[in-house]
Every structure is written in C-alpha cells, then in structure tokens.
Chains A and B, each alone.
Chain A
Amino acid sequence: MDMPIVRFPALMKFYVDNQIEFPCMGVTVAELLDNLVARYPALQPHLFEPGGNMRRHFNIFVNGEHIRELNGLDTPLKNDDKVILMVSAAGG
C-alpha cells in the first residue's frame, strides 16, 4: 500500500489531532486529500471552497515541487513521498 507522508502547518494541525506529520494513503494528491477529509471532516472547509475547488490561499508541494508544476491534483504519489500542505499566514 502506498503511504506518502503528509505535513501540516501549525495553522491546521488542530484539525488533525495536533499532528504535524503523519502517513496517509493515496495514489494521487486528490485521493490523499479525500482520505484526509474522510478521516478529519473538519478539514473540508479549510481545503475546499463551497463549490469543491481547492482554496486559492492554499498550496501543495510534493517532494519540494508545487503540484502546479507537476500534474495538479492528479499528481501520482508513491511510498514515502513527502506531501507538504501550506497556507498563507500574515503574522509578523
């Protein structure tokens, strides 16, 4: 079973049992997000707009590359790939 590692920003870890980093199943980025939301429903409004599109202050990187430069949400994932979820923060 393919188990990429997903990393959450401090801003969102309260929705995932206070974890920063943990393995999550998914053979594509989209599938991984579906699995995350199924496990942690409170994530849904943070990741997606009401219409279902991914929120635009929100970025996903796979092994250091933005998924925009890869295959978007269809980017394939394999074991131990590092998926970083990232949101904008304004604090200074």
Chain B
Amino acid sequence: MAPELSHEEILRYSRHLLIPEVGLEGQRKLKSSSALVIGTGGLGSPVALYLAAAGVGHIGLVDFDVVDKSNLQRQVIHGKSTIGKLKVESARNKLLDLNSDIQIDIYDEPFTSENAIRIAENYDVLIDGTDNFPTRYLTNDVCVFLGKPNVYGSIFRFDGQLSVFDARLGPCYRCLFPEPPPRGLVPSCAEGGVLGVLPGTIGTLQATEALKILLGIGDTMVGRLLLYNALDMSFDFVKLKKNPKCRVCGPHADIKELIDYEEFCGVPGHDHNDEGSAGKDRDITATELAERCRSGKLVLLDVREPHELQISALPNTLNIPLGQLAGRLTELDSAEDMVVFCKAGTRSTRALELLISAGFKKVKNLKGGINAWAREVDQELPIY
C-alpha cells in the first residue's frame, strides 16, 4: 500500500496532483519508489535534482569523485562552496535543501562487480550517468541480472544518446554494443570536451523516462534510441531490437555473472584527467623534462588538436594531432630523442604506443601532459 501524503506534501506536489496521469495515486507511488543514480556528474546532476523535486521517495547516489572547478561548467548540482568535497555529499546537501521529505542514500565508492548487486538490489530503477565504459557495461549487466530497467544516457561534445534498456521487455546495452571500442578510438569528455548544457538536455530526458517507469505511464524508450545533435538541433529516433547473439540477455548468453569490466574494456572505470602515464620506464615528469631541455637537442611532439594550442602551448614544438600521427610518421626522425605530450597524458600515451610499434625507440611520454608542466614548471600557463 502506497504511503499517504501529508498536507505539506500535497501542497508541494500540487502541480503533479493536477495531472490526471499522475494524480494523488501517482504521487504516492513516487513516494514509495526508489531510483539509483550512478554518477553525480553532468548527467547525474539534473537527474537527481528532478527526481528529488518530483518526490521520488528514496534516491541513491553512487560516486567516489570530489568536486573540481572544471565540473561546474555542467554539473549544476555542485557549487563553488563544495569544490574539493565528495560529490555524493555535495549532491545530497543540495537535494535535501530542495526536498527534505525524501531519503537520500549515498555510496562514496566506485561502482564495481563487488558492490554493484548489493547496492542496486534496493532500487526500482537504475540511471546510468557514468563517464566510462566499464561502469556502463557493469550497470547494464547488473540490470539484466536483477531484472531492472536501465535508463541510459551518454554525451560527447554536441551529441547525446538516450534509451531505456530493459532485457525483460527489449534489448540491453550489450545488444547494441557487444564490445567496447578499442582503446583510443573514442575519446572521453575529459579529453574531447562537452557542451555544458548537453548533459542538461539528456539528463532531464533520463529523469523523464525514470519518472514514467516509476509511475507506469506513457511509452518509454524501451526498444528505441534517441540520437540528439545540438549543433543542427536534430532528434533522430531509431529502433532497437534484442540481439539474438547478445552474450548477457540472448538465448545463448554465456555471461551469467558480473565480470572484470576494466579488463573487458581495457580502460579504467573512471574518466580522470591526470593519470596519463605510459609506465615508469616510458614516462618523463615535467620537472625532469625541464631539466632535460637544458641539456641538449630534443624533439617535443604535441599531439593535441590545433585549437588547444590557443589555450596553452610550449615553445619549439611539433604539432601533429593524434588522429593524423599514423599518416605523418615520415615527418619524424626515429634517431632523435623525442618527448610526446598532450593535455594530460592520455592521448600521448596512445601516440607513444603507435610510435613504438612503428620502430621508434627514443621516445618518452610527458606524464600528466602540459597540465603537469603548468603545475610543476611554468605556473604562468593555465590548466584546463
């Protein structure tokens, strides 16, 4: 039996109670329902704000990150005053300020194969707002195994995707993407950027779908995928069907329990900026590089996109964007010492792999990229 609403709640939700599709009964349903928001970043911000405002009685937030200044361009649940604080705590404070009649549970830990089932089994619906492939595959498989809907959204630059994956009724995420992209082919938002309002658009659509699922109204996005492009303001809807070869929800599924998702995807389960390391013997730190520059000839290869050089640049460098490197190797001399760098070390690590496989031996990776140089060597340079 759904809980009663207090007079305060009736006033708070009066605009819902006026809609026949929601009404008193629907609002009580929302009060007794629960949603797990995975990630409190760009997508998780609007999702959590709108679900809390709508009166979803129990909201869970999973994130192990802390608020960074570069988050505030889009992660509107956080603020200047919570920079450096845990995202889940920052988000909970904002949500309880918006609506203290609901219960917020926070999980200050990465969402992993070890804890995912234990956390997720308490919720009616999962909302995928993560920033990395391993957690997306994990969220999908958890939903398939527990028989729960997965409200999916993802963003990059000007493009957004939205669907509801529910293996009981239609396809799952793996039906569409049997395998993650090979490492390096699909840049993340930390590498490639994202229009700040884009997660607002996709996140509010995810919140809409979650509310419809919890209320049991309307037609959800099960079996459909929205491809949104903000640049030409286009909304393309395509149909999705179950993939008979799906390894997790198909008739011959061979994945029956959670696996090691970082290994499956070949990338870490987060989208952090400052981890660009090619391994101890292939890295050079910014401080070491500054020393090395004084002691002889060295080629500095900048593999960032040309527009990034307007933000910050080093003198006397050669700029070949990573995407062009394979076709421009003839411009490089493998006999010379070379240090490759990018913004934070992710792209340069891939460039290094490419160079080494092409026979270059005297190459190193600037650990942490030009941002590390800005921190350690030249504080005049901005960090981005």
- Whether A and B are associated in the same complex: the answer reads yes
Residues of A within 8 A of B (CB): 7, 9-11, 14-15, 20-21, 42, 45-46, 55-59, 61, 64-66, 68-69, 82, 84, 86-92
Q: Contact at A88–B186, with CB atoms within 8 Å?
A: yes
Given contacts A66-B240, A88-B154, A92-B42, 4 further A-B contacts (CB under 8 A): A10-B156, A42-B327, A57-B181, A91-B42
- In angstroms, Cα B155 to Cα A69, docked, is 26
Q: Is B296 an interface residue (CB 8 A)?
A: no
Most buried by B among A59, A69, A82, A88: A88
Q: Is B279 an interface residue (CB 8 A)?
A: no
Q: Is B129 an interface residue (CB 8 A)?
A: yes
| Smallest beta-carbon distance A78→chain B, Å | 18
> What are the nearest 4 A-B pairs in CB distance?
A91-B189, A57-B181, A10-B159, A89-B156
Chain B residues within an 8 Å CB radius of A91: 42, 131, 154-156, 188-189, 192, 194, 271
Q: Which of B320-338 contact A (CB under 8 A)?
A: 323-324, 326-327
Q: Contact at A56–B177, with CB atoms within 8 Å?
A: yes
Chain A residues within an 8 Å CB radius of B133: 88, 90
- In angstroms, Cα B39 to Cα A46, docked, is 28
- In angstroms, Cα B131 to Cα A20, docked, is 24
Closest residue of B by beta carbon distance from A89: B156
Q: Contact at A90–B238, with CB atoms within 8 Å?
A: no
- In angstroms, Cα B326 to Cα A13, docked, is 18
Number of interface residues of B (CB under 8 A): 51
Q: Could you list 26 examples of A-B contacts with CB < 8 Å?
A: A7-B236, A9-B156, A9-B159, A10-B231, A11-B159, A20-B229, A21-B232, A45-B326, A56-B178, A59-B177, A64-B237, A65-B238, A69-B239, A84-B236, A87-B186, A88-B133, A89-B154, A89-B186, A90-B130, A90-B132, A90-B133, A90-B154, A91-B188, A91-B192, A92-B130, A92-B153
Closest residue of B by beta carbon distance from A59: B176
Contact of A92 among B129, B157, B232, B237 (CB under 8 A): B129
Chain A residues within an 8 Å CB radius of B227: 9, 84, 86
| Smallest beta-carbon distance A59→chain B, Å | 6
Q: A57-B180, A92-B44, A92-B130 are in contact. Are A10 and B243 (CB under 8 A)?
A: no
Q: Contact at B238–A66, with CB atoms within 8 Å?
A: yes
Closest residue of A by beta carbon distance from B229: A20
Q: Contact at A90–B271, with CB atoms within 8 Å?
A: yes
- In angstroms, Cα B13 to Cα A3, docked, is 52
- Against A, the Cβ 8 Å flags (1 = close, 0 = not) of B220-244 are 0000000101011000111111010
Q: Contact at B243–A68, with CB atoms within 8 Å?
A: yes
Residues of B within 8 A of A (CB): 39, 41-44, 128-133, 136, 153-159, 161, 176-182, 185-189, 192, 194, 199, 227, 229, 231-232, 236-241, 243, 271, 323-324, 326-327
| Smallest beta-carbon distance A56→chain B, Å | 4
Closest residue of B by beta carbon distance from A61: B238
Chain A residues within an 8 Å CB radius of B158: 10
- In angstroms, Cα B198 to Cα A92, docked, is 10
| Smallest beta-carbon distance A70→chain B, Å | 11
| Smallest beta-carbon distance A52→chain B, Å | 15
Chain B residues within an 8 Å CB radius of A90: 130-133, 136, 154, 186, 188, 271
Closest residue of A by beta carbon distance from B39: A92
Q: Contact at A88–B157, with CB atoms within 8 Å?
A: no
Chain B residues within an 8 Å CB radius of A66: 238-241
Chain B residues within an 8 Å CB radius of A86: 161, 227, 238
Q: Contact at A64–B177, with CB atoms within 8 Å?
A: no
Most buried by B among A9, A55, A65, A89: A89
Chain B residues within an 8 Å CB radius of A61: 238-239
Closest residue of B by beta carbon distance from A62: B238
Closest residue of B by beta carbon distance from A86: B227
- In angstroms, Cα B39 to Cα A81, docked, is 38
Q: Contact at A92–B43, with CB atoms within 8 Å?
A: yes
Chain A residues within an 8 Å CB radius of B243: 68
Chain B residues within an 8 Å CB radius of A69: 239, 241
Chain B residues within an 8 Å CB radius of A14: 323
Most buried by B among A7, A42, A57, A68: A57
Q: A20-B232, A65-B239 are in contact. Are A92 and B155 (CB under 8 A)?
A: yes
Chain A residues within an 8 Å CB radius of B229: 10, 20
